[in-house]
Structure 1
Amino acid sequence: MTRRTGNATSDDIYTVVAHWRAGGISGDFCAQETTNPTPGQTARFPEWIDIPILQAMTSLGITSPWQHQVDAWNSIAAGRATVIATPTASGKSLAYIVPIVARLLSRPSARALLLFPTKALARDQESTIRRFIDLCGADLKTVVYDGDTPGDVRRKARTEAHIIITNPDMLHTGILPHHTAWAQFWAGLTHVVVDEMHTYRGIFGSHVANVVRRLQRVCGFYNARPIFIGCSATIGNPGELGEALFGAPTTLIDKSTAPTGTRTFVLFNPPVVDPVMGIRASAHRIAARMGADLVLAGVTSLIFCQTRRGVEIVLRYLRDKVRQNGGDPGRIRGYRGGYLPLLRREIETALQQGDVDAVVATNALELGIDVGALDAVLLCGYPGTIAATHQRAGRAGRRQSPSLAVLIAGNAPLDQFLAREPAYLLHSTPEVALVQPDNVTILLAHLRCAAFELPFATTDRFGTLGIEDTDAALSCLTAESDLVLRNGRYHYIGSAYPAAQVSLRDVGNPVVVVQQESGEPLAEVAWRAAHFELFDHAIYQHEGETFEVQRFDPAASKAWVSPVPPVYYTTAVAQSRIAPLATHATTDGPGGTIFIGDVSVVENVVGCKKIKFRTHENLGYDEVSLPPLQMETEAVWVQLHEHALRDWPPDITPLALDGLRHALHQVTALRLMADPRDIATLLQGPHLDAPDAIHAETAALDPDATASPTPPPVTLYLYDTHEGGAGLMERAFASISLLFSDAQTLIRGCPCPDGCPACIGPLPVPAHHNLKDIAARIAAHLVVVHGD
C-alpha cells in the first residue's frame, strides 16, 4: 500500500468514519461534531523588531505574524510577566522566542532560562530555537543542560551560553545549589520561560512554585529582575496559575488568532457484550480495530492509552491486525514513559520524518513535542480531564490540515456518564489547575534548600509568604537543627545536601528495569508505580514485548526481568487503610457526620491477578509480599449513622456502599474539575473487607491509642492522592452535599436494571436485590446532611 503520510484529505477521513457508521464497527456513535476551518488574523510586525529577526521570519515563510503573537511580543517587550494560553499549534513558541532573541541581539550580556517539564521536550525545542537563531545569522549559544549533558559542555554553558534550556528538576538540584558557578549567567538573566505550564499542577506544581521562589531569591542576589513568561495549553485558569507560579500579576494572552483546519470529533461507545453485568467491549480492542482501519486507509494516527500496560496491549493488537491485512507492523511504534532516551528520540525522529504509520502512546506525547503531520488521534478511554482531551485531540491536524479525533469510552462510570451526556464534554469549560506552594511539607523542604543557597535575614520574605510566616517557618527548621540563627540571619548547618533529598515529582528514586541476561537497563518506572508493576513474577511489557520480573529490590531501586512468551499480563491487588490524624472542621446531619482533616494512608500490594491476552480470562491469583507505602494527606470523610443503613439487607449493604464510593469518586473528579488520579476513595468499617485492620492501623499510627469495645462506624473516605494534599479537599468539603447528589444522579441515570460497572463499578457477583437502588438511596440520605 502506498502511504500518504500526513497528507490525508477530508475525503480519506470521511470515508473511514462513514465505513464505521455503516456497520464497519459495532457500537454507538454518541456524538459527532465537525468544526469548520477558520481563517487566521494577522498583524504587522512591531517597529522594534530588528532586521535579522524579520529575515528569519521570512525564511520560515512568515510575512505577517498572528495578532496574538504580536500581543505577546509587545507585553514581554514592555517588561510584563506574560502567560500565553492558546491551543496546540497556534505558534506559542515564536511568541516567546522572538522577544528573547531580540533582547540577546541588542544586549550581548543578556541571558535567558527556558524550563520544560521533560527532557524530550527540551531537546525538541532546542532544535527549533537553534534553527531560528541560525536564520537570524546570530552567534548565540543555546545549550540543553540536563542529566544527559556531558561535563565539559556543562562547564562551558555556565559562562558562555546565552540560552539555557533545562527542566525544573535540574534547576532544583543541579543549578540553584551551585549558583556561585553561574554568577555571570544570573547577572545577565533577562527572561525566564516556563513552558507547558499546565503540567505544573498539584504537588508537582507546588514544588515548582517553590523552585521559582528560590530562583527569584538567587536572581535578586545578583541584581537581576527577569521577565517571567508562561506558556500553557487551554485550561480554566491560566492567568491564576501563572500568578501562583510566578508570585506576581500576569498579562494573559488567551485568544488565538491562528487559522485552524476542519476538525471532526467523535464520541464512540463500544457495544455491550454482557447485558447482565452491563460490560462493554474492550476500548483497547476497539482502538486497535479503528487504528488498523486508519493505517490501511493512509491516515497517520496517534493512539493515546491511559496506562503503560494499555500501550503495550493496544500495540500488540494493532500490529497483529495490520499484519493480517497486508500492512507493515514495523511502522507501528509504542511511546511511553520508561522507554530509554535513545529509543524515545528514535521514535520522535521517525514521526517527524514520516517513517511511522501509527504510534501508541501514553500522555508522554500529550505535550508539545513536534510529531510531524498527524491526521487522526484516538483516545482509548477518557483521559480524566476536559483539558487533557482537548490537548490530545489537538495533536492531529497541527498544520491546518483536516483531522479526526475519536474518544472511545471505557467501562468506567465517568466514561459512560460522558457517553450519555456528550454535551458536558463538548461544551464545558476546561478544568482549573491548582497549586498549593504553602503546603507545609513542601514549603519547609524548599526553605532548607533556599537557606543552603543563601542565608535568610529575619526580615526576608519567601515569595508571597509574609515576613512573619517566613520567620516562623525558619524558626521551625532551626528547632530541627537544620538552621542556626546568627546575627539576625538564618544559616543552613545540616549535614545533608538538601536538594538531593527533595523529589519534585515522586516519592523515592525511579526504579531501573534491568534485563537479567545482559545486565542492560531497559526502562525506568516511578517509585510508587513500581510497587504495582514490578513485584516478583509480574509481567512487564515494553515496546510490544513481554518480560517476567525475576526480582524486585525496592532498597536498590532495581528490578530484574527476563523475556517470556506473551500469554498473560498481571494486575496488582492492593489493600489500603486510612487513619485520621487531625480534624479541621465537621458538620453533622441525620445521615452522618462529615469531617475534613489530615489522614495517614497506607497502601500495600498483597497479590496479583493473571489476565490472559485477548480473552481477558482470569488465569489465577498469586500472593505478593512488599513493604507498605505510607503518606499523610488531606481527606474528607463521612461517618454514616447506623439508622442510615438499617433498612437494607446486611449482606447487600457493603456492596451498595462500595458502589456509592465508586460513583462518588467519578462525580468528584467532574465537579471539582480535577484529574481522577488526584482523588481516591476508600470504605472502612465493620462487616466490610478486613474490618479489624482499621483498629490495627490506628494503633500502629497512635501508640497511645487503646482498643474500644464499640466498633467504629462505617466510614467513607475521599482523599487527595498527593502527599500533604493539593487543596482539593477544601472544595470537596464545601460542596459535599452536591457531590452526593451528583452520585445519586449518575447511579439512577444508568440504563442498567440493578447496577453495573458504568454506575456502581465492577461487582464480585452479578447485581441483585436492587443493588443500584440501595446505593442511590444511601446517597440521598447524605444529600440531606448539608442541605445546601
Structure 2
Amino acid sequence: MSPNIEGAVLFAELVRAGLKTICFCSVRKICELVLSYAQQHLRASDERLAGSITAYRGGLNATDRRRIERQLYDGSVRGVTATSTLELGVDIAALDAIVMVGFPGSVASLWQRAGRCGRAPDADALCFVVPYPSAIDQWVVRHPARVLSMPLEAAVVDIDNHHILGMHLLCAAAEEPLSAAAGDRELFGERRYDEALKALAAAERVIPIAENPGSWMAHPLVEGPAQGVNIRAIEPDLVRVVHRFRRRRSQPRIAEAIAGGGGGAEAAGEEEGEETIDEVERWRVYYEYFEGAVFLNQGRKFVVTSLDLGAGVALVAPTDVRYYTAACDSTSILVQQRLPLPAAPLAAKPDGAAAGTSAGGCEARFGRVRVRLAVRAYLKIWQTTGEAFEEVPLALPPKEYDTRACWIDLQPDAWPRRRRLVLTDRPSRKWVSGLGPGGVKRELQPAAPRAGPRVEEEAAAAAAEAADDDDEEEEELAIDLEAGLHAAAHALLAVTPLRLSCKPADLGCECEAFKERKLRSKRLLLFDRCVGGIGLTERVATAMPELLRSALELMTSCDCDDGCWLCVHSSVCTEYNACTSKKAAIAVIEGLLAAPPPPPPPL
C-alpha cells in the first residue's frame, strides 16, 4: 500500500474515532492528495465526517487560514492535512493525535510536530510516522533510538540573501530610521547594507533623511511593510490561481423579474464570477501550474486552462479526468563566483571535533551560481497504474535565478595509486525505467554509443599504462562516473537533513548524465533551491567530510544490488532516477575520502 494511502486511512480512522487530528505532509500536492483519499474513505460510511476535514497549507489566503484555525479550535473541523505551515506560530489546543506521512526532514521538526498533541498535563495522545520507501525515512526506521537521542540540527539563517535582508530592513525603517551612525551598517555588514538600501531606494520603498545624512526612513506611502512579508516563501513574485465560474443566483435581478423571462444566462438567473483559490511562487508554476496541469485544491480537482506569466495569473476550471500531470524539466548550473568559507567551521562532528571542508584530496568549494530551469513538455499519467500515456509539448520561457552552491571538483589524482576508476564506454542514454516525482514511470530513448578518435586514444593510453605497470597489481574499477556522481548526490541529499534543519527538497543536485560532455572536470554539486540561497550550501560545504561518511554508511548498509529507494533513489529527482549506480557512488565517495591530502601551497 502507498504510504500516502496508508496515512490517509489512518487519518480518517482517527477522525472517525472522534480524535481531533492533524496529518502532516511534506508538500502541498501530497497534502491535497491525502485529503482526497481520506474524504473518499470517510464518504463511504458518513458524508458528514467527510466534510469535517480540510487542508491547511501555503498558498491559502489569510481569510481561509483564519477560518480553518477557528474551526479547528471550536471543533467544527475534526481534522486537517497540513504542511509545515501548522508546525509553528499557530495556537491550536486539545489535539488528540498526529500523523506524519514521511519523516519531516529534521529531528527538530519531528519533535515540533509530535508536540502539537497531548499538551494538557493529564491528556493522552497518539503520534504516528508513516515512512516512505526513501533513504532518509528507512534510515530513521532502522535507527529509532539513535534518532530520538540525536541533538537538534543547526538552524540556518542567512542575511546575505538580499531578498531577506531587504524585507527586514524595510520593516526596521518603518519602526525607527536606519542610521549608519547608530551602528546599523556594521550590524548588517557594510556591503550587504549598502546594496539592500540601494535596491529599496530604487524601488521607492525608503527615502533619505535630509537633516541626518546617512539615515533612511520608510517611504510615507509604505504602510505596514511587515504585512507584506511572506514568511512561507522568499520569492516576492506570486502567481494567482483564479477559478472563473458561472452559477445560478439565489435571486434574479429586478429587471429580469419584471421582464419575466428571455433568453441566455442572464435571463436564467445565472452570474459569472471569479475567485482566487491559491497564490503560488513563480517557480512552482513550472512544476505544478503550467497550462494543462491537473492539481488538487481542498480535495477538488482542477485543470489549468491558461497561464499568463506577465500578468501573474493562471486560470483554472474544475475537471474529473482520471490522470495527473508531471513536468519534464531540465536544469543547468553555471558557477559565477567562488566565495570564501568562514574560517571557523559551522558544523561539528558528533564527537565534538571540528569538521573541515577538505574531503581527502578534494576540497569542498562554495560560491554563487546561476540556475536555469527549462520545461519542454509534461506527461499525463494514469492515476490507477502510474503509467505515462502522453507527452504534451510546452512553450514556457526558461526561468533563471541566482543562488548558492557547494561542490567538489574531482581531480585526476584524487584516488590512491592502486585504485583506478575507468569510465565505461556506454551509451549517453540507456534504456532505463526511472521513478520520479509522483511515482512517474518513464522510459528514456537510447542513443548511439560514444565512439571516435578521442575514445580510441583514451583506450590506447590506458592499455599502455597497464603494460607499464605489469609489476604492480592494480585494482581497476570500471564504473559509470556520471551515474556514480548522480547517485552520490542523492545519498548526500538524503543524509543532510540529519545535520541541518532542512528537507531534501530544499537542495538540488547537478546531473549531467544526459548532457554534452563539458571541458571542465567532473564535480559533485549541490545547490540551494531558494532564490539567493538561505545558507544551506555553506553549511553543507563546512560539514562535507562528515556528510560523505554518512552517505557512504547509508549506501553500504543497504542490501540492494546497485541502488534502490532505500539508498540512492530520490522522489524529487527531476531525471526520474535514471542513470544512477550505487556501486559507482560508493567508489566515488571512497576515493574522495581515501585520497591523500593536497600538498600545502608554496611559500
Matching residue of 1:738: 546
Residue 10 of structure 2 corresponds to which residue in structure 1? 290
Equivalent pair of 1:452/1:491 in contact (CA under 8 Å): no
For 1:544 and 1:416, locate their aligned partners in 2 and report how far apart those are by CA, in whole Å. Answer: 29
- Correspondence 1:389-400 to 2 at 5 A: 389-399=110-120, 400=122
Partner of 1:514: 242
Aligned with 1:378 (options 96, 99, 107): 99
| Counterpart for residue 718 of structure 1 | 526
Q: Which residue of 2 aligns with 1:424?
A: 146
Q: How does 1:12-23 map to 2 (within 5 A)?
A: none
Unaligned runs of 5+ in 2: 246-272, 342-356, 427-479, 599-603
In the superposition, the TM-score normalised over structure 1's length comes to: 0.55
Matched, 1:555 2:555: no
Matched residue, 2:424: 649
Q: Aligned residue pairs: how many?
A: 485
Q: Distance in 1 between matches of 2:20 and 2:177?
A: 55
Q: Is the 8 A contact 1:447 1:474 kept in 2?
A: no
Query: CA 1:307 to 1:732, structure 2 compared with 1: closer, same or farther past 3 Å?
Result: closer
Which residue in 2 is equivalent to 1:299?
19
Look up the equivalent residue of 2:424 and give its one-letter code. P
2:515 aligns with 690
Alignment TM-score, normalising by the size of structure 2: 0.71
The residue matched to 2:184 in structure 1 has which SS?
A: coil
Larger relative contact order, structure 1 or 2 (CA cutoff 8 Å, min sep 6): 2
Matches within 5 A, 1:314-713: 314-325=34-45, 328-399=49-120, 400-437=122-159, 439=161, 442-443=164-165, 459-462=181-184, 465=187, 470=190, 473-474=193-194, 489-490=213-214, 505-517=233-245, 518-585=273-340, 592=362, 594-642=364-412, 646-651=421-426, 652-684=480-512, 688-691=513-516, 711-713=519-521
Among 588, 591, 597, the residue aligned to 1:781: 591
The match for 1:123 is none
* CA distance, structure 2, for counterparts of residue 726 and residue 664 of structure 1: 18
Cα drift, residue 417 of structure 1: 1.4
Q: 1:347 Cα deviation (Å)?
A: 3.1
- On the 8 A contact 1:284/1:310 being kept in 2, the answer is yes
SS at structure 2 position matched to 1:524? strand
Q: Is the Cα contact below 8 Å between 1:600 and 1:632 reproduced in 2?
A: yes
Q: Deviation string for 1:430-480 (max 9, x for gaps)?
A: 2232223355665467657767887665533117618xx549954996799
Deviation at 1:359, TM superposition (A): 2.1
Contact 1:455 1:489 in 2 (8 A): no
3-state DSSP of counterpart to 2:422: coil
Change (3 A) 1:535 1:497: farther
CA contact (8 A) 2:359 2:544 kept: no
The whole-number CA distance in structure 2 between the counterparts of 1:765 and 1:502 is: 35
Closer, same or farther: CA 513–713 of 1 in aligned 2, 3 Å: same
Q: Measure how far apart 1:621 and its partner are.
A: 2.7
Checking the alignment, whether the CA contact within 8 Å between 1:549 and 1:559 is kept in structure 2 is yes
Q: Equivalents in 2 of 1:331, 1:472: separation in Å?
A: 49
Over 3 Å counting, the alpha-carbon distance change for 1:449 and 1:650 in structure 2 is farther
Note closer, same or farther for the CA distance 1:307–1:503 as it changes in structure 2 (3 Å cut). Answer: closer
SS of the residue aligned with 1:390?
helix
8 Å contact from structure 1 (residues 591, 781) kept in 2: no
CA, structure 1 residues 344+737, in 2 after alignment: closer, same or farther (shift >3 Å)? closer
In the TM superposition, 1:115-130 aligns within 5 A as none
Unaligned stretches of 5+ residues in structure 1: 1-280, 695-710
State the Cα deviation string for residues 617-676 of structure 1 (Å, max 9, x = none): 333332333233332222211222357684253434322321111111112232334333
Deviation at 1:427, TM superposition (A): 1.7
The structure-2 alpha-carbon separation of the partners of 1:494 and 1:665, relative to structure 1 and needing over 3 Å to count, comes to same
Alignment of 1:42-53 (within 5 A): none
Give the Cα–Cα distance (whole angstroms) in 1 for the partners of residues 76 and 229 of structure 2: 40
| Greater share of residues in helix | 1
Deviation at 1:514, TM superposition (A): 1.0
Relative to 1, partners in 2 of residues 1:767 and 1:681: Cα closer, same or farther, differing over 3 Å?
A: closer
Residue identity in the other structure for 1:639: D
What SS does the aligned partner of 1:348 have?
A: helix
